A and B are shown apart, each in its own frame.
Chain A
Amino acid sequence: AQKITQTQPGMFVQEKEAVTLDCTYDTSDQSYGLFWYKQPSSGEMIFLIYQGSYDEQNATEGRYSLNFQKARKSANLVISASQLGDSAMYFCAMLQAGTALIFGKGTTLSVSS
């Protein structure tokens, strides 16, 4: 069965520092997609970045980059130059059978000044 594991319940970082949020996944599929979402306290799930299993380059979107290590089945999110507004819950997810997203339990990121 497909599974997403996020082992960091909470992470703390100071403004302008970089932070890495860990994500490992388990799947027997050859083709899959990995996503990161940000969820503020308001509840909205905000798309951050996507990595396809066949993508040779690591995905980047502004301050967000995905460190994709296929052999280790890891897809860590790197946020550069953290901002106070980055404080939120972050979820790693994998697309299952092209339809359902399977989510990890999330990591709470707290950014301090």
Chain B
Amino acid sequence: DAGVTQSPTHLIKTRGQQVTLRCSPKSGHDTVSWYQQALGQGPQFIFQYYEEEERQRGNFPDRFSGHQFPNYSSELNVNALLLGDSALYLCASSSIGTGPTGNTIYFGEGSWLTVV
């Protein structure tokens, strides 16, 4: 049973560029959430996608956008990169139907983004 997979694992971008991060949820899960974790901090919720629509959004600017595909996989796009966007980006998958139980929220290994 494949867990949550994310790509790429590491990447370096220049200020002003755009980046796309990808996530495939755990088998059987239909909901994908994205989190940003700055160094030394806890993860911060960016947004959640369900049925190919943004279901909820955290306190992040419009430069952060996303997409969910029919196979439940998801992309996180960040435009006009700033130095402060350097962070670990984590994808979490869950299943709306089974509710908020611990067995339904799993994270991937994350994508380390460095903006120079």
**A-to-B contact residues, CB < 8 Å:** 4, 32-33, 35, 37, 42-47, 49-52, 59, 91, 93, 95-106
Contact = CB atoms under 8 A, between A and B. Distances in A.
Nearest to A100: B45
Interface string B80-109: 000000001010100000011111011111
B42 A35 contact: no
A100 B42 CA distance: 13
Nearest to B57: A100
Contacts, number: 70
A91 B58 contact: no
A95 B42 contact: no
A79 B56 CA distance: 34
B104 to A, nearest CB: 9
30 contacts: A32-B100, A33-B100, A33-B101, A35-B102, A37-B107, A43-B88, A43-B109, A43-B110, A44-B109, A45-B92, A46-B107, A47-B103, A47-B105, A47-B106, A52-B100, A52-B101, A59-B102, A91-B43, A95-B100, A96-B45, A98-B99, A99-B33, A99-B56, A100-B45, A100-B56, A100-B58, A103-B44, A105-B41, A106-B41, A106-B42
